[in-house]
Structure 1
Amino acid sequence: MDSLAAAHLLAFATLLLVVAVSPSSLADAVAREACEHARALVAAAACFAAAAYAYAMSRPRPVYLVDLAGYKPAASHEATRAKSVRHFAAAGNFTGESMSFQRRMMERSGLGEATHFPASLLSLPVDMCLRTAREESEAVVFGVVDELLAKTGVAVADIGVVIVNSSLFSPTPSFTSLVVNRYGLRHDVVSHNLSGMGCSAGIIAIDLAKHLLQVHADTYALVVSTENITLNAYLGNYRPMLVTNTLFRMGGAAVLLSNRHAERSRAKYQLMHTVRTHRGGACDRSYGCVTQEEDEHGNVGVSLSKELMSVAGDALRTNITTLGPLVLPLSEQLRFLSTVLRRRVLGRRAKSGTKPYVPDFRLALDHFCIHAGGRGVLDELERSLGLSAWHMEPSRMTLYRFGNTSSSSLWYELAYCEAKGRIRRGDRVWQIAFGSGFKCNSAVWKALRSVDGGEADAGPWAQDLDRLPVHVPKVVPIDDDDDDDVVEAGHGRSE
């Protein structure tokens, strides 16, 4: 019984109760006795209707993912690794050691030969200013929203919630205002702009949309995840900040969610669970492992701590401890619980002799979309979660083809699964994202229908579908005969 039907039943029962308590027209005792029985029945019906209404109102509204879109920059934005290295050398004031470090990192990054940069960073000299940053963001945001609206056919007047997340670039007016103005959304649209929340902000945006869709009935939520590269290339020589140059690339994604029951028939997925873990209050080590700051010469960049992998591991363990009971079969939950009890009851000796048991999430989940933060992150999660190369393929190919596109990488990975025809009805997809703060966030989706894939529904993968996957060795030397020119362009200085 839905909430509207329950409300109607409650009103009808209340009306009958009012009538039944006034038996003035019934003179004889039999009629009065019958009236008493009727009064009792109507009172019971009213109580049932009230309980049914309360139950219907307390049940969470289902959240459906109608469709998604990923941004594919034009071919003019593509750059090989060799071109990237040469361009960094010519554009920045890097020392020889800094250039050698970036080259080594790129050879081990897992990135391929056709990742994308905004035009502002492909020019010489680089054009890092507010104007070009806006141009990059508008191209990405408008590109994915245009595609999504075209795919779904949803009228902008029906969109009641807009959420945009971009961590390192937060213009005024906000990104949500930009979307509302561009598409002429209605004046009472609920909008939220998320910034400074790192690569896991995409799941935070989904979680926020889920809660808003419990409050605002019969509507759609538009969620856009992006990042801005123009203002966040690092041109200094502080090594912890140089890593981002070799990983982060241009990209973005848009997702349309709905709580409309009628959308279930065409929606791709239903949101089953979101789990958010924030370790920033646990210790300063977690809080400070990813920070945006200035180096000694005033160059702004994102600094990555050497403890990042350890911090990410702690956050992941906390996250799966919460997620496990929601998705795992009972047998896996009991194994995990027995290991925890043994380590706690037997004390230090048991801890030294017993490894923490990591549940086999493959028993409950079919597809794994792990944030393509870098080769090291993917290797560590493959090992710790016991995943196969097939499970890791969407994440590795996203890193290879698009690089680290921050919070939008999860949607490129899901689009890859769809393009390859992997998604079957009833499959469950686990999205895992990490971000500054430090955060680990998860979302679990259930496929409501099979997605056949192929070029017609391949999205950003359409041109690469036939040649992927490819094997990516741990180290791929950059084939560049102009190494001497690179050093010369980097001024050949040593630190």
Structure 2
Amino acid sequence: MTARIVSIGTALPDTRVTQSTLRDLFAAQPGFDRKAQRLVGAAFDAAAIDTRHVVLPQLAGTAVDGLPVRDGDTLLMPPTGARNDEYRRTAPGLFAAASRAAIEGSGYSTDAVTHVVTVSCTGMFAPGPDYHLVRDLGLSPTVERYHLGFIGCAAAIPALRLAARIVGNDPAAVVLVACTELCSLHWQTSSHPDQIVAASVFADGAGAAVVASGDPSREGLDLDGFATHVTDDGEKDMAWTVGDSGFEMTLTPEVPRIIGREISAIAADVLGDLADVDAWAVHPGGRSILDRVESALGLDAEALAPSREVLRRHGNMSSATLLFILRDLLADPALKDGDSVAAMAFGPGLTVEAATLTARRASA
């Protein structure tokens, strides 16, 4: 039985801040010399991002109670526990908002949901987001729950793979997949190039999908196949560790180069004939990653337009980002019944996750 994404919902924090505002704030940090300030300006301006959403209004200059992250123009470095407390306070609402939107658009009731798969790498607590979704959405207390943590930007694809396998084993299953990432909680006020690059792209957001067995009366995206590939190098170039002052992201300039060097062989291996792909959903880890993928695969400029548009409006929301792209593709009338969609995302390792999907439009 083919599993199908029948609906996708998204949610964003209320605070929307321009890239230029965040650039100027980060460049103004005490101890940043002219070289660091130039690097901040170059990284933020080259990111191809206009706006990002964050759960911290303080970053947009709004004075509120909560996590102490700013004193005037000086960014503070609260301890990991305080950052995680803010995650625990704010993440469940975004998980629930995206999930409600997905369920409302699916044609299923909350009573129909049999499984919940949650995804996040920006916080942790127990009972966790999976438990809170059952309570917040009024799901059955017998719903099976799974949580995928610390997989990073690529995690939406393994979550969809798990959902597809559940539905393949039980055609009556209705699986809710929900990804929420609050990357802004882990800003590091460091002039190290890796931290500047991370600060220039990461943002907050949530995406959710309802996956069920294919039904001719429901539009959606059939989940046809999945593949994963670990590159020969890159283990130290994309990493995510827990520090005393938040989670510390390593994202070196080698990441786009590694992807650009290896993506052609990987794509041919996991996706087959690229000429058969009608639409692309590539995780925009950054503008340079999209540029390398486009060049290496010989794609035309429009192929990655959906990925670039999500990056421009929202930044890199880690695992949730791919669901935003798939949502936009699903809503695009240019995507016809039977069209092939290739999805790819990149995570620590360096790991490439891929999926092949087929667009399904409701029969008359």
Shorter-chain TM-score tier = 0.7 to 0.9
Q: Partner of 2:88: helix, strand, or coil?
A: helix
Q: Report the CA distance between 1:385 and its aligned residue.
A: 0.9
| Aligned CA distance change for structure 1 residues 218 and 365 (closer, same or farther; 3 Å) | same
2:17 to 79, 100, 107: 79
* Alpha-carbon distance between aligned partners in 2 of 1:299 and 1:428, rounded to the nearest angstrom: 40
RMSD of aligned residue pairs (Cα, Å)? 2.4
Does structure 1 retain, via aligned residues, the 8 Å contact 2:11–2:207?
A: yes
| Residue 382, structure 1, aligned to residue 258, structure 2 | no
* Alpha-carbon distance between aligned partners in 1 of 2:245 and 2:238, rounded to the nearest angstrom: 18
Deviations 1:278-337 (A, max 9, x none): 34xx4xx42221123478x96752111332123324653453243244xx3xxxxxxxxx
* Alpha-carbon distance between aligned partners in 2 of 1:186 and 1:439, rounded to the nearest angstrom: 35
The equivalent residue for 1:265 is 217
Residue identity in the other structure for 2:69: V
Deviations 1:245-285 (A, max 9, x none): 110111121000002x5x33213121111111234xx4xx4
2:55 to 93, 99, 118: 118
Q: Report the CA distance between 1:224 and its aligned residue.
A: 0.9
Higher relative contact order (CA 8 A, sep 6+): 2
After superposition, residues 222-233 of structure 1 pair within 5 angstroms as 222-233=176-187
After superposition, residues 336-347 of structure 1 pair within 5 angstroms as none
| Residue 428, structure 1, aligned to residue 349, structure 2 | no
Q: Report the CA distance between 1:371 and its aligned residue.
A: 0.6
| Aligned CA distance change for structure 1 residues 367 and 414 (closer, same or farther; 3 Å) | same
| Residue 66, structure 1, aligned to residue 6, structure 2 | yes
1:310 to 257, 261, 267: 257
Q: Partner of 1:154: helix, strand, or coil?
A: coil
Q: Report the CA distance between 1:364 and its aligned residue.
A: 0.6
1:211 to 165, 170, 174: 165
* Alpha-carbon distance between aligned partners in 2 of 1:78 and 1:302, rounded to the nearest angstrom: 22
Q: Report the CA distance between 1:192 and its aligned residue.
A: 1.1
After superposition, residues 85-96 of structure 1 pair within 5 angstroms as 85-89=23-27, 92-96=29-33
Residue identity in the other structure for 1:81: Q
Larger Rg: 1
If the length of structure 1 is used for normalisation, what is the TM-score?
Answer: 0.65
**Larger % of helix: which?**
1
Fraction of identical pairs, as percent: 22
* Alpha-carbon distance between aligned partners in 2 of 1:151 and 1:72, rounded to the nearest angstrom: 17
* Alpha-carbon distance between aligned partners in 1 of 2:200 and 2:48, rounded to the nearest angstrom: 10
Does structure 2 retain, via aligned residues, the 8 Å contact 1:94–1:235?
A: no
Residue identity in the other structure for 1:397: E
Does structure 2 retain, via aligned residues, the 8 Å contact 1:277–1:318?
A: no
* Alpha-carbon distance between aligned partners in 1 of 2:92 and 2:52, rounded to the nearest angstrom: 19
| Residue 220, structure 1, aligned to residue 163, structure 2 | no
Structure 2 gaps, min length 5: 71-77
Structure 1 gaps, min length 5: 1-60, 329-360, 452-495
If the length of structure 2 is used for normalisation, what is the TM-score?
Answer: 0.86
Q: Report the CA distance between 1:427 and its aligned residue.
A: 0.8
After superposition, residues 68-467 of structure 1 pair within 5 angstroms as 68-74=8-14, 77-89=15-27, 92-96=29-33, 97-112=35-50, 114-119=51-56, 121-122=58-59, 123=62, 125-126=68-69, 129-259=83-213, 263-279=215-231, 282=232, 285-293=233-241, 300-313=247-260, 316-317=263-264, 319-325=266-272, 328=273, 361=274, 363-449=275-361
Q: Report the CA distance between 1:194 and its aligned residue.
A: 0.7
* Alpha-carbon distance between aligned partners in 1 of 2:145 and 2:239, rounded to the nearest angstrom: 27
* Alpha-carbon distance between aligned partners in 2 of 1:88 and 1:176, rounded to the nearest angstrom: 34
* Alpha-carbon distance between aligned partners in 2 of 1:393 and 1:450, rounded to the nearest angstrom: 25
